[in-house]
A and B are shown apart, each in its own frame.
Chain A
Amino acid sequence: MTPPPGSLLAAQDLHKAYGATKALDGAEFSIHPGEVVAVMGPSGSGKSTLLHCLAGIVVPDSGSITYDGRELATMSDAQRSALRRNEFGFVFQFGQLVPELTCVENVALPLRLSGTSRKEAERAALTWMERLEVEDVAGQRPGEVSGGQGQRVAVARALVTRPRVIFADEPTGALDSLNGERVMELFTDAARSTNAAVVLVTHEARVAAYSDREIVVRDGKSRDMERAL
């Protein structure tokens, strides 16, 4: 099986089970550079598992995932970690910021993990925080900022390494609609400005509206809505 031509990240015939529960059952996926793809589906449909597999966090039981022509299954854990550190970015539902670090330190963390000096990492972090309009909370800890601000800090953290793919799992799930929309606007704008591909897992249609394409996952099987039309 070969990935669709020009795709940056593609998955074919993915299977993954947790005990007797089949989370993925032949799911397929592909995304091109600069593209925003929404993965939709009801709770428990397997969309988060698909995201985790695509990001190399979870190894599927079978199937193929290729990133930039490289097969993820053949990579070691260290290689996949390096890939996530250098080429991927992540945004989670509750931000998942490190509570002990200040916001700017949180944003700078991925760069520091890649070996960038603290000063340089924090300078870059501040630039991204300005773009996401959270530079005023730079010195505060996550527990001291609002949910919307925290989520924007999390987006800044995902973008700071200029990743080629950003994985966002329900990025606005914990926010009210107004805050959610603002986060999505800033997020997609920033991602597009860096030509990053965005895998956006959501069950909200208004969030999916920010995407270029939608893939629906149900019972572990995926359906590309664009191709289905």
Chain B
Amino acid sequence: MSAGAGVRPWARDLSLGVRFAVTGGREGWVRLVLTAVGVGLGVALLLLATAVPNALAERHRREEARLDHTYSEHVRPKADNTLLIADVDTTFRDKNVLGRLVEPEGPDAPLAPGLTRYPAPGEMVVSPALKRLLDSGDGELLRERLPYRVVGTIGEQGLIGSQELAYYAGTRDLEQHLDGWQVGRITEFGPQERTKETWDPVLLLLVLVMFVVLLTPVAVFIATAVRFGGERRDRRLAALRLVGADSHMTRRIAAGEALASSLLGLVAGAVLFLLGRQIAGQVEVADISVFPGYLDPSPALAALVVVAVPAASVLVTLLALRGVVIEPLGVVRTSKPARRRLWWRLLTPAVGLALLLPMVGQGRDHGNFNQYAVIGGVLLLLAGVTALLPWVVETVVARLGRGPVSWQLAVRRLQLSSGSAARMVNGIAVAVAGAIALQMLFAGVEGGYREDTGLDLNQAEMQIRMSGDVPLDKAAAEFGATRGVREVVPLGQTVVADVHWRTDGGPDTTADLTVGTCAALRTMAKLPSCHDGDVFVATSTSGVSDTDPEQLVAPGRRLYVLDSNDSDRNRDVAWTVPEGLKKAVAIKAPDGWEHDGVLITPGALPTALAGTTVGQIYLSVDESVPDTYDRVRNTAARLDTFSSAQVWTSHRESREFRTIRTGLLVGAVCVLVLIGASLLVSQLEQLRERRRLLSTLVAFGTRRTTLSLSVLWQTAVPIGLGLLLAMTVGLALGAVLLEMTATPVYVDWASALTMTGIGAGVVVAVTLLSLPPLLRLMRPDGLRTE
């Protein structure tokens, strides 16, 4: 063998390394498979990440393609190409159900995506997930609400997720419900103008940071995985030196072994990705699911992964071998490691900061952030953790004092190879640093994407809106009889004006008109006294209304009550304000608003006004009764197909913000599992390498607890240092990101400590999982040589 130089020796030695990797016997195969699985897991995650932009775009496209704009100021006339469609979305156990009632009016009526024909009245086509649900016992309550015969399924093109619940039901006489809002007449599906999904700059920043934060630990993990079994490989290389290989050759052969592992890892990653892609089609997180077909990696990004992973594995191996002297006599000695220098390690995060700082104060009003600078800056800051950690571990462990035997064993081991200890915790430190920064950013900008609904959950937990065709007393009785409902406040609401509603430009002066029993009206206003037949004029103390109701609603005055159930919204009924009008003061109603205007008890309501109001029914429910919400929704649907039932919450979150948060959750879980797996494999690998020594120590009487504690210290010390550094970098990065969004910097210590705690939890879990193999390795079998 000769060293040589140039491409040919490289090719020869790399191929030799590849051959060694696959001909190493059982031991070699175990190592190869271990590395391939490790690299494969990382590659699968990377491929998944490259598929995310496509998945989002496809989801957006499909969502747009099935848009049905029922809202219109004027209802278009019936024609051969028109379709009557009603939005009857509902919810079943926190899951949204897309629901449409359809009535094609001619042979050219537009067909919704995913449908081959429209169902006849009384029939429906459903999404596969809804079909499964309805066929199972779990969907029994929903079945009551959807009394249609299932005649087909909606194709993939009509759905935005594999687990989406959706149906199109055929109906008739929809025209009489046309309101240009919930029920409309359309000639096509799809957006009025095609849009590209645009992101708020801060949300885009969140997404960018999230990607970097989630993918950096994956890269660190891959770098760790290609070094599995390094010590054993070094011994093998020493044997090669004995038969004449020079040090350059051994390095190239080692690189070849790494190349084989990473190539196999690429294959494993592709297989895992394809498997994961199929599994992804079966799961749903926070109401979001995807079709396997969505998850197509972007070709350019996938090609980058295919090239970068093997190249990185070779590079990492060559770098790792820098400090190792492989001698021919089977002895591998780590060359006296050069003291780690701090300056360039500080340079990495410093450059990262320098990239981010010019964007400080940009906020959300100054256009988009420079995406490349954000990615580069965050990446360098997080890479700073991996650069600084070995220096921190080396510096600190060099100063650690003496202690019990377990401590001494651990500290000495750390002093001898602080690099491998730092490497082991690099991934988790980067993940925690990124998570802290993201958490800070989320908490800081949350206010802009999450608002207080103002709803009073002490008064009611549900609100039902239904047409005025349903008598309020009947609705009250039905809801009152529904299991789990504690209290019912039925109100009829419309608007009253000084002139006809069909007047050009509409009336100038209006006020709310609410119909309800005395008990129901008391939830809206302070009433002096109340008997059926009373009429009140309520004034607001907060001055939210432009109109003074007392001026508008004067006894004997003729007013015009809007028929709220009329589709053209200009039909009204004349009403003369009766004598004996009482005064009341509006209070905050269950819906969070003060409603001034007219309050009428049922006894005072003229027959002509009976159908002009829409029902607003507020319910107080017993949440401990299972499925109360769905029983209420069923009652509402039975009373009025077009009713809407809303469960109240104290806060409302922006959809994109919620999606990003869900994405973070899913990504963080994947990354933590990956890091946990990597830690466990590294730990087991190290223990396996030390099997004989552990057995020897046990042989001369070392307590197993001493050895277990020593393993714990060996993990705990670098982890402690890693988490401390992660917290520092994470808080710094979080502060910079908040400054960039012009949000006041606030350190949410609870979240930072939680993130750190989760990181520590992963390590504790890994240590506990490695204890059984440790105890097994300490058995005397390790001393056997035959």
Collect the chain A residues with CB atoms within 8 Å of residue B409's CB.
Answer: 98, 100-101
B570-578, B665-673, B697-705: which lies at the interface: B697-705
Map CB proximity to B onto A175-198 as digits: 1 under 8 Å, 0 otherwise: 000000000000000000000000
Collect the chain A residues with CB atoms within 8 Å of residue B785's CB.
Answer: 48, 93
Collect the chain B residues with CB atoms within 8 Å of residue A88's CB.
Answer: 700-701
List CB contacts (< 8 Å) of B693-734 with chain A: 693, 696-703, 706
Across the interface, A110 reaches (CB within 8 A) one of B331, B698, B701, namely B701
A51-59, A64-72, A209-217: which lies at the interface: A51-59
Considering residues A43, A44, A92, which has the most beta carbons from chain B within 10 angstroms of its beta carbon? A92
**In the complex, B363 has a CB within 8 A of chain A:** no
Interface size on B, residues (CB 8 A): 27
A43 to B700, CA, bound (A): 24
A85 to B699, CA, bound (A): 8
Q: Is the CB of A96 within 8 A of B693?
A: yes
Please name the residue on chain B nearest to A57 by beta carbon. B780
Q: Is the CB of B693 within 8 A of A57?
A: no
Q: Is the CB of A113 within 8 A of B703?
A: yes
**In the complex, A148 has a CB within 8 A of chain B:** no
Q: Is the CB of B701 within 8 A of A86?
A: yes
Collect the chain B residues with CB atoms within 8 Å of residue A84's CB.
Answer: 699-701
**In the complex, B647 has a CB within 8 A of chain A:** no
Q: Is the CB of B701 within 8 A of A58?
A: no
Collect the chain A residues with CB atoms within 8 Å of residue B786's CB.
Answer: 43-44, 48
**In the complex, A4 has a CB within 8 A of chain B:** no
Q: Is the CB of A85 within 8 A of B700?
A: yes
Q: Is the CB of B702 within 8 A of A113?
A: yes
Q: Is the CB of B706 within 8 A of A113?
A: yes
Collect the chain B residues with CB atoms within 8 Å of residue A85's CB.
Answer: 700-702
Please name the residue on chain B nearest to A58 by beta carbon. B780
**In the complex, A105 has a CB within 8 A of chain B:** yes
Collect the chain B residues with CB atoms within 8 Å of residue A100's CB.
Answer: 409, 412-413, 415-416
List CB contacts (< 8 Å) of B395-440 with chain A: 402, 405, 408-409, 412-413, 415-416
Q: Is the CB of B402 within 8 A of A118?
A: yes
Map CB proximity to A onto B264-283 as digits: 1 under 8 Å, 0 otherwise: 00000000000000000000
Collect the chain B residues with CB atoms within 8 Å of residue A43's CB.
Answer: 786
Taking the closest CB of chain A, its distance from the CB of B407, in whole angstroms, is 11
Map CB proximity to B onto A57-83 as digits: 1 under 8 Å, 0 otherwise: 110000000000000000000100111
Please name the residue on chain A nearest to B416 by beta carbon. A100
**In the complex, A112 has a CB within 8 A of chain B:** yes
A119 to B786, CA, bound (A): 39
**In the complex, A89 has a CB within 8 A of chain B:** yes
**In the complex, B69 has a CB within 8 A of chain A:** no
Q: Is the CB of A96 within 8 A of B416?
A: no
Please name the residue on chain B nearest to A94 by beta carbon. B692
Collect the chain A residues with CB atoms within 8 Å of residue B698's CB.
Answer: 57, 81
A107 to B334, CA, bound (A): 23
Interface size on A, residues (CB 8 A): 37
Collect the chain A residues with CB atoms within 8 Å of residue B703's CB.
Answer: 78, 81, 113
Collect the chain B residues with CB atoms within 8 Å of residue A114's CB.
Answer: 701
**In the complex, A143 has a CB within 8 A of chain B:** yes
List CB contacts (< 8 Å) of A106-137 with chain B: 109-110, 112-114, 118
Collect the chain B residues with CB atoms within 8 Å of residue A93's CB.
Answer: 785
Across the interface, A89 reaches (CB within 8 A) one of B415, B416, B700, B783, namely B700
**In the complex, B339 has a CB within 8 A of chain A:** no
A163 to B401, CA, bound (A): 30
A57 to B778, CA, bound (A): 11
Known: A52-B780, A105-B412. A92 touches B702 (CB 8 A): no
Q: Is the CB of A48 within 8 A of B706?
A: no
A92 to B785, CA, bound (A): 11
Residues of chain A having any CB pair with chain B under 8 Å? 43-44, 48, 52, 55, 57-58, 78, 81-86, 88-90, 92-93, 96, 98-101, 105, 109-110, 112-114, 118, 141, 143-144, 157-158, 169
Residues of chain B having any CB pair with chain A under 8 Å? 331, 333-334, 402, 405, 408-409, 412-413, 415-416, 692-693, 696-703, 706, 780, 783-786
| 29 A-B residue pairings within 8 Å (CB atoms) | A43-B786, A44-B786, A48-B785, A52-B699, A57-B698, A57-B783, A78-B703, A83-B701, A85-B700, A88-B700, A90-B699, A92-B696, A92-B783, A96-B693, A96-B696, A98-B693, A100-B409, A100-B413, A101-B412, A105-B408, A109-B702, A110-B700, A110-B701, A112-B405, A112-B408, A141-B416, A143-B333, A144-B333, A158-B700
Q: Top 5 nearest A-B pairs by Cβ distance? A: A85-B701, A100-B412, A84-B701, A96-B696, A57-B780
